[in-house]
Structure 1
Amino acid sequence: MQALMEMQIGASEVVQVLDTGCAVLPPESPLPMPEQSLRKGRLHVPRQRTAPLGIGLRRFYLIGGTMSMSLIATWVMLAVMWPGGINVLEGCLLVLFMFLFAWVTMSFASALAGFFCMVFGGGRKLGIDPQMPLPDLHTYTALLVPTYQEDPCRLLAGLQAIYESLSETGQLEHFEFFVLSDSRREEFGLAEEREYAALCERLGAHGRIFYRRRADNTGRKAGNIADWVRRFGGAYQQMLILDADSVMTGDTVVRLVAAMESNPDVGLIQSLPVVVGGRTLFARMQQFGACVYGPIIAYGVAWWHGAESNYWGHNAVIRTKAFADHAGLPALPGRKPFGGHVLSHDFVEAALIRRGGWATHMVPYLQGSYEEGPPTLTDLLIRDRRWCQGNLQHAKIVTAAGLHWISRMHMLIGIGHYFTAPMWGLLMLVGIAIPLVGDGIDLTAGMHFSPAHYWHGRTDGDVLWIFTFTMFVLLAPKLLAYFALLFKPYERRACGGALRVLLSILLESILAALMAPIVMYLQSRGVFEVLAGKDSGWDAQQRDDGKLSWSVLLRSYGGLSVLGVLIGALAYTVSPPLAMWMSPVVLGMAFSVPVVALTSHRLVGAVLRRWGIFLIPEETAPSKVLIRVAELRRARQP
């Protein structure tokens, strides 16, 4: 193996990477990547050439519509509570209601725009037309696969499928591949070297697929990519960033790169990855939601993002010079978790590229981009804890000089996403506390009390209107997604037909409601941990089916279950109607262990698949590249 890795291969030269094993790399082509200042800077090119017509009106619709509906709902809520004056608790509830209602209303307004784009065919841009012949390429692109202690067989199966798919387009000569390892454990490094050598041998890809493992993984994934840019970026006009679980068709890759070539002022194009490969109930539920709800959400945000779209860190093509000139991330002042290296680097890199005068776009209509989701709720929440810290870290970046206001909005939305969890919890608690405190209820008297009685006693019609409208705004994106699917015969049939899709949406909504209190509690805990200074660390992600033991489940969720039982018992002691009113939250908490266990089971997912529940087109009619990935992974299994 050592001899194989150290031999000269074609135009490539071997570079010893300190004590981390051997690397096979092309000649270096350095590209300066200066660290950017957050204190100084200005916005170059306030309006991009590729911005859609009427982008200002689109954003006025989103923000104006959100504010209008939120103010109306808040005014009605104020009228409900006004008799007798507004006390401190009622004032707190009003503020919480206003912010949370605005949050869900903005999602609704964006989804509504996405629905019309999907149904009536709007939103295509940058000259990308999947129905047209494949364009010819004239530049060189590097496909980068950063990895950190991933299964190399699984990782390189995906890379091989992409390689073969690109070869079928006849334009493979415009691409080179880099496996950029940050693995620390020696057994992972040795396995990566072994599998890399075998891959090159199978494909005859010496001189086209390269590998290196960093001696110092400073900066995590962002530092990994920055190291490549500074050493090799000068030889490639574009780089396409992939995650360890990413797969893309050659057709999609070529069209993305061609769009970069034909739009020299575009710095980044983000595709919409479809979540695939899930086998547990949780994973299949998540990928069904991403398949059905994801497109109208993505079409909606792309519609009002315009040339200021966000970046998700993978399955995106980036102009290498734009990235090198403007996306060098500084270390944030202070100690972790708010200081140090930027964790959620993708949002910041997109914002800095846009500040530098380059357009950033999302193209949700271009199919052939895939990723895998976490197999269990536990794995999702572990990942979510890291994202929580990264997003809250953006509080130090959102005021950076020269950022486009939409870039600032992206960061504020990311921060707000995590604060909504404790805000929902506070809204529920304050809603219970107001009648308890305001009416002077004697808890020892065992009165049959429910907050619903209190609120109905205020103004029946107004309370019912607020509740109905809030539920409509919450559920409307799912309904719009269902109606949009009905307009697409192929996708509708591939998802099992209209009836099975509707049943899947109902089951997904029930499961999501059961898991919502778990997510709310753990996200709230994550926010408080970050504010208290606790760092999330950096661990390898679980990508195979999660098999959670009961001991792990009890350790992770047993306390939450006990808390749910205690709250339910206390509520019942006060009043059975109060316990009934709180039951949606209490049941989710009390049954958190069996709910997580059930949704983590592959057998349940398989049964539902046989029944046609949670089907997605990538299961019923998978693309050639997905079939190839599955074949390669099976072949490499011991």
Structure 2
Amino acid sequence: MPVQSFWRWDGPRPTVVDRRTDARTLLARVAVFGGAIALSAFGIGEMVGVVKAGGIVGLEWPLVVLFGVTFSWIALSAASGVVGFIAGIVERRTPRPVPRPLKSRTALVMPVYNESPARTVSALEAMAHSVAATGQGAHFEIFILSDTTDSTAWIEEEVAFMRLRHRLAGVMQVWYRRRHKNTARKAGNVGDFVTRWGGRYDHMLVLDADSLMEGETIATLAQMMEDDPRAGIIQTLPLIVNRNTLFARLQQFAGRIYGPLIARGLATWTGRDGNYWGHNAIIRTRAFAEACGLPDLKGRKPFGGHVMSHDFVEAALIRRSGWAVYMVTWLGGSYEESPPSLLDVASRDRRWAQGNIQHTPLVVARGIAWPSRIHFATGIMSYLASPIWLMLLLTGLALALQARFIRPEYFSKDFSLFPAWPRFDSERALQLFIITMGVLMLPKVLGTIETLMRPEIRRKAGGGLAIVGSLFVETLLSAMVAPVMMLIQSRHVIEILSGRDSGWKTQRRDDGGIAVSEVFRHHWQHIAIGLVMGLAAYAISPAILAWMAPTLVGLVLAVPISWASGSMELGLTLRRARLLLIPEETETPAVISAAAAREAEAVAELPEVEDGLTLVVSDRRMRELHEHLLLPPPLRERGKPELDPVMAEAKIREAVSVEEALRWLTPKERMAVLTDPVLLTHLERLRDAADIRPTVVPAGE
């Protein structure tokens, strides 16, 4: 994997290498960008009409600019949604590949980082049996790529891996590797796999720890790779499933009802210049190896260092090398899970925000296709939109305060026959508000209409009335969450711009709420901001307060909204009322049912490991297994030993018992011991010495 450069590129342009940009893609691009430009021009023109009654003065200029940016952002989404709706009619007539025997070998790659081993191996087992049922199991192998940093979780992974290998004997080969250092996070994890073992496989299907895919979907992706020798990445559309909290059910419903339409619009206009979302996609290993060696970015974190949101960058680089990247929205059977609450999403968003903003200089990287630049720009804008929206609200409030409390300067110092002060066309402002809401809601409405037009999906989602009712519930609750997320993401952007790094935290995946005290600790500032803005609006006029009410309600009620978002009881209550229901709940896909059943078995059968290092030292079979799975220790420069192994060895030598040594070792030192067979031997000798040490009887007894 040669390290790439973002600023030097002497190769051919992607459009020269791959000329399969068809008329449909070109027409979709004209429709999306032409429609977005036309809508934006109309909306901005209307906004100018609202404020120009007395001439555009003072804060009215930034008001127009900020409105123009936000309106253009939703206009692009609306135009893409319309294209996705139209493309859905054509997609039903798209010919599907006829299954045939495969010739290639594909690795099902699952990177893990301090995850539940029972959950991950159960998902892999379900997928392996599903693939085997297609008759193509011999062409696939499983590879678990661990970056786990907890010693006990590491040993649990090894035990779970051996159990999985035993259960899949004769079905599919299973491999496991844990890196000594998780350099560059997930991108480095996958890159390490490619450089060590990638040559063994024609393709790798990259999964997330919460991924599930039907065997037929996996086999179809491998067949499509064989049929299209210029394909570098083929991305599926993962549907969100398996969650029951209120917030997760909102995500599931939106992803299932509106998501396919939005994704189809994106896939139609991007064509073979598509994007990659980091999982549930198949990648040509040779293409990835030659094009996706990521360099470290210059400067300090958060902008410098390794590339965080690597998937967007890998798609751009692989496309730059002439390989196609595209999404097949018609191929079902691809699933993932949602974070269970608003705070869990906020925690994940912090990392994603930093990764996307880090892409800012890459928008002008050399040689990449212009749709890849659009992907970078939209990723950046998805987080900048929140502070822009906040500035728009504050500018509007400042204008209202100025009009209410500050005496206008009717005549400027420059000679003029006419006074100049802020004036608004209230009737036109109301019309513009209605238009803006219509543009914002258009993808949701079209997605709902599309679902209602498909009898099988409509029936499984609870029927027409339930779907329309769910649309209103999802829209109302999302509108209350949106202001809170606006402030959370605005804070993220400020932290990133001020140089604070996000770190790498384990994602919470299980259903379950968060304590009210913890919720209040995260949201009290949002409540305070909402109250201050509300008092300011009321001081101006009740009309201004009414205008800002949709935003203020969400902020003032931030604590109960956030707490309710993680409530499984509220989520299940709505499910019983057939609201926010998705077809996959009415008729559960086979691979989801199989994964759930196998997880229950794994939880019951896998031993509960209290302390991983203690188990390895005390159980000889576990010690042999652990050492068998260890990679060779990484090379280091002579004369520069690492601190953790040195400190661990010193503590072990000084201890008089295993218990004392284990009590002294820090978490990082425990990992160092598990990484080094020599240090494990020292611990074992300490244990053996304790076993044979003679009893000392005090004198006189």
State whether TM-score is above 0.5: yes
For the 8 Å contact 2:82–2:443, the answer to whether it is kept is yes
Task: Find the partner of 1:623 among 589, 593, 604.
Answer: 589
C-alpha distance after superposition, 1:229-272 (max 9, x if no partner): 00111111111000000000110001011000011011110000
Task: Find the partner of 1:46 among 12, 15, 22.
Answer: 15
Deviation at 1:226, TM superposition (A): 0.4
- Helix, strand or coil at the partner of 2:59: helix
Distance 1:240 1:423 in 2: 38
Distance 1:255 1:475 in 2: 35
Equivalent residue, structure 1, for 2:400: 435
For the 8 Å contact 1:134–1:251, the answer to whether it is kept is no
For the 8 Å contact 1:55–1:304, the answer to whether it is kept is yes
Deviation at 1:607, TM superposition (A): 1.2
For the 8 Å contact 2:55–2:422, the answer to whether it is kept is no
For the 8 Å contact 1:162–1:249, the answer to whether it is kept is yes
Distance 1:599 1:528 in 2: 25
Deviation at 1:420, TM superposition (A): 0.6
Deviation at 1:82, TM superposition (A): 1.9
For the 8 Å contact 2:14–2:322, the answer to whether it is kept is yes
Equivalent residue, structure 2, for 1:55: 25
Query: 2:366 is aligned with what amino acid?
Result: A
C-alpha distance after superposition, 1:406-452 (max 9, x if no partner): 10110001001111101111111111222332565479xxxxxxxxx
For the 8 Å contact 1:135–1:254, the answer to whether it is kept is no
Equivalent residue, structure 1, for 2:117: 152
Moved over 6 A (4+): none
Query: 1:183 is aligned with what amino acid?
Result: T
Distance 2:71 2:197 in 1: 48
Equivalent residue, structure 2, for 1:208: 173
Query: 1:583 is aligned with what amino acid?
Result: A
Query: 1:408 is aligned with what amino acid?
Result: R
Mapping for residues 36-435 of structure 1, pairs under 5 Å: 36-41=4-9, 42-46=11-15, 48-121=18-91, 124=94, 129=96, 133-204=98-169, 208-435=173-400
**Kindly tell me: are residues 623 and 54 of structure 1, through their superposed partners in 2, closer, same or farther at Cα, counting changes over 3 Å?**
closer
C-alpha distance after superposition, 1:193-220 (max 9, x if no partner): 0010111112215981000100011010
Task: Find the partner of 1:521 among 484, 487, 493.
Answer: 487
Task: Find the partner of 1:610 among 553, 567, 576.
Answer: 576
Q: Structure 1 regions of 5+ residues with no counterpart?
A: 1-32, 444-454
For the 8 Å contact 2:36–2:75, the answer to whether it is kept is yes
Deviation at 1:567, TM superposition (A): 2.9
Equivalent residue, structure 1, for 2:638: none
Equivalent residue, structure 2, for 1:536: 502
Deviation at 1:397, TM superposition (A): 1.6
- In terms of Rg, which structure is larger? 2
C-alpha distance after superposition, 1:481-504 (max 9, x if no partner): 111011111100010000000101
Distance 2:113 2:145 in 1: 9
Task: Find the partner of 1:462 among 428, 439, 443.
Answer: 428
**1:512 maps onto 2:478 in alignment:** yes
**Kindly tell me: are residues 54 and 170 of structure 1, through their superposed partners in 2, closer, same or farther at Cα, counting changes over 3 Å?**
closer
C-alpha distance after superposition, 1:460-511 (max 9, x if no partner): 4432331221111011111101110111111000100000001011001110
Query: Identity of paired residues, percent?
Result: 43
Distance 1:277 1:442 in 2: 59
Query: 1:35 is aligned with what amino acid?
Result: V
Deviation at 1:582, TM superposition (A): 1.9
For the 8 Å contact 2:147–2:179, the answer to whether it is kept is yes
**Kindly tell me: are residues 439 and 579 of structure 1, through their superposed partners in 2, closer, same or farther at Cα, counting changes over 3 Å?**
closer
C-alpha distance after superposition, 1:345-388 (max 9, x if no partner): 00000000000000111001100000011111111111011000
Equivalent residue, structure 1, for 2:616: none
Distance 2:441 2:335 in 1: 26
TM-score (norm 1): 0.90
Distance 2:394 2:260 in 1: 35
For the 8 Å contact 1:43–1:404, the answer to whether it is kept is no
- Helix, strand or coil at the partner of 2:308: coil
Distance 2:337 2:35 in 1: 35
Distance 2:64 2:88 in 1: 36
Distance 1:513 1:136 in 2: 49
**1:601 maps onto 2:567 in alignment:** yes
For the 8 Å contact 1:281–1:599, the answer to whether it is kept is yes
Deviation at 1:74, TM superposition (A): 1.2
Task: Find the partner of 2:553 among 587, 610, 628.
Answer: 587
Distance 1:505 1:206 in 2: 43
Equivalent residue, structure 1, for 2:511: 545
Task: Find the partner of 2:524 among 555, 558, 570.
Answer: 558
Distance 2:426 2:522 in 1: 42
Deviation at 1:122, TM superposition (A): 6.2
- Helix, strand or coil at the partner of 1:338: coil
Distance 2:270 2:300 in 1: 33
For the 8 Å contact 1:123–1:299, the answer to whether it is kept is no
Equivalent residue, structure 1, for 2:675: none
**1:634 maps onto 2:600 in alignment:** yes
Deviation at 1:119, TM superposition (A): 3.0
RMSD: 1.8
- Helix, strand or coil at the partner of 1:88: coil
Deviation at 1:77, TM superposition (A): 1.7
**1:494 maps onto 2:460 in alignment:** yes
Distance 1:304 1:43 in 2: 22
For the 8 Å contact 2:51–2:422, the answer to whether it is kept is no
Deviation at 1:578, TM superposition (A): 2.9
Distance 1:544 1:593 in 2: 21
Query: 2:369 is aligned with what amino acid?
Result: H
Distance 1:206 1:116 in 2: 42
For the 8 Å contact 2:110–2:208, the answer to whether it is kept is yes
Equivalent residue, structure 2, for 1:15: none
**Kindly tell me: are residues 566 and 80 of structure 1, through their superposed partners in 2, closer, same or farther at Cα, counting changes over 3 Å?**
closer
Distance 1:174 1:134 in 2: 14
For the 8 Å contact 2:59–2:399, the answer to whether it is kept is yes
The aligned length equals: 590
For the 8 Å contact 1:77–1:466, the answer to whether it is kept is yes
Query: 1:213 is aligned with what amino acid?
Result: R
Q: Structure 2 regions of 5+ residues with no counterpart?
A: 409-420, 605-701
- Helix, strand or coil at the partner of 1:317: strand
Distance 1:233 1:102 in 2: 43
- Helix, strand or coil at the partner of 2:358: helix
**Kindly tell me: are residues 583 and 342 of structure 1, through their superposed partners in 2, closer, same or farther at Cα, counting changes over 3 Å?**
same
Q: Is the deviation greater in 194-203 or in 308-317?
A: 194-203
Distance 1:557 1:510 in 2: 20
Distance 2:474 2:51 in 1: 35
Distance 1:390 1:356 in 2: 23
Deviation at 1:123, TM superposition (A): 8.7
Equivalent residue, structure 2, for 1:34: 2
Task: Find the partner of 2:451 among 485, 490, 502.
Answer: 485
TM-score (norm 2): 0.82
Distance 2:406 2:183 in 1: 58
